[in-house]
Structure 1
């Protein structure tokens, strides 16, 4: 491993998480194949990709749970991530709470694993449950909670020790739309307090709404890294035009590869903008019924960047799974 072992002061850190040339092999299979990643301090950063893309393996390497076969990483400036375990909150994809344990005790127990005294963990746990509308569930056993409530309890246990970095692996999996929205709000509140959030997801809508930066991962490699806006800007905006007339001299201004359905035309925004087309439509008396310009969404960008095959396992909008 490269780098010093002493953590850098948080006031001088630019990146909460850094990985350079990371490689992880399982036999002949490259789960992670030369990934570079840098997560700015205080940001919400999403790792977006289908199941099997290497997201979980990458997170576990960054956290120090497994070692890379190549490359090196830093967590909060520390080259040996496990030394800073108490400054990290980690919610793995495989959830698990003791079913007989009371909700508040479960939160306190998870905090104790990160060095928080049990008494303080119980105090903070009750406050967190009250703050998230689950005060009445504090003394109920986990087995008596709904799936969404139990997952919220586990998330609160992930943050009860006030970590500087929160790492969430597929945190929205299994939650219905209401509980997903609550989780998004919690993530935003933590980020507003200066906490760095790193999460993996295959639900494109969450990355599009939450993230300041994303990494699109497929086949163990990063295919794109940057802002959501920069990913969407890879594609030209789409024009949707509806006319009263189906033919006329104005037709020459409509791109030859436009999709046509009746008197409705769909095509990428021309490189010279909409004004020449609009002038031709008006001068040619096309009879404009409607004209709209839509910026491509992150799902369209994902398909263009990672390919249609990688996009098959992705969820463009919020899951409607039963997790309430």
Structure 2
């Protein structure tokens, strides 16, 4: 199997003459979890759109498991959770989970679904209610369950803990560790540096379309002479 789940090599994206991504190179190994951090407008969303082939790149190359990211077969190994996931309001939770599995051509087995709902403490009875009646936190848990239920080798998660209460955040972290234990790679964005510190093998700091740091959280603190990751982050983008 290819060594890397994801590779970005000198990726460039412009808006007119304005560079949004300026020569980004990033590797994500199989089984690795990388946290992508940056202020609003740093280029994180554009980077995700590029690797998902939702927008074209103006330079460089992106590969998924050794294949060009523009090939649908390459993206078939990827599950994506957007920052704002809005399941169809006309569906209930169970219908949404079955619908998502069907889109990916995967079974939605009752036993596996029950295990994931239990892992996130998502009440099965709640899933009989229309999505429009669920709270923001419940919708986020439903979206997480749907994403992590997909049997994929790469998970791209954009602010996955957004809207979760402390208990739900802890349960999400446990579920994510379980996915990683199965060998999946994870690229996640988060404004919560503590989550990146706890969950990720590496932190990648993106600012003004350029990579300011790529390495472990300990190496980041040491490199910038900071006592904590927040201080290191602020030094990196200064």
CA RMSD across the alignment? 1.7
Match among 44, 64, 68 for residue 55 of structure 1: 44
Which 4+ residue blocks in structure 1 deviate beyond 3 angstroms?
A: 124-127
3-state SS of the aligned residue for 1:234? helix
- Partner in structure 1 of residue 121 of structure 2: 133
User: 2:83, 2:116 → 1: CA distance?
Assistant: 22
Residue 207 of structure 1: CA displacement?
1.0
TM norm structure 2: 0.92
The answer to which structure, 1 or 2, has the higher relative contact order (CA under 8 A, 6+ apart) is 2
* TM-aligned CA deviation for residue 234 of structure 1: 1.5
Contact 2:119 2:171 in 1 (8 A): no
Matching residue of 2:98: 108
- Residue 228 of structure 2 corresponds to which residue in structure 1? 297
Alpha-carbon distance in structure 1 between the residues aligned to 2:148 and 2:176: 10
Q: How has the CA–CA distance of structure 1 residues 19 and 302 changed in structure 2, closer, same or farther, with 3 Å as cutoff?
A: same
1:105–1:122 contact (8 Å) kept in structure 2: no
2:30 corresponds in structure 1 to 41
Mapping for residues 157-168 of structure 1, pairs under 5 Å: 157-168=146-157
CA contact (8 A) 1:212 1:227 kept: yes
Q: Which runs of 5+ in 1 are unaligned?
A: 1-8, 238-295, 308-324
Shift of 1:122: 5.5
Aligned to 1:311: none
Per mean C-alpha deviation after superposition, the further-off stretch among 169-178 and 182-191 is: 169-178
Q: State the 1:236 CA deviation.
A: 4.0
Q: Give secondary structure in 2 for the equivalent of 1:20.
A: strand
> In 1, distance between residues paired with 2:218 and 2:193?
13
Distance 2:196 2:130 in 1: 33
Tell me whether 126-135 or 24-33 shows the greater mean CA deviation.
Answer: 126-135
Please name the residue that 2:140 is paired with.
Answer: 151
Secondary structure of 2:223's counterpart equals: coil
Name the TM-score, length of structure 1 as normaliser: 0.68
Q: Distance in 2 between matches of 1:176 and 1:30?
A: 37
Unaligned runs of 5+ in 2: none
The count of aligned residue pairs is: 235
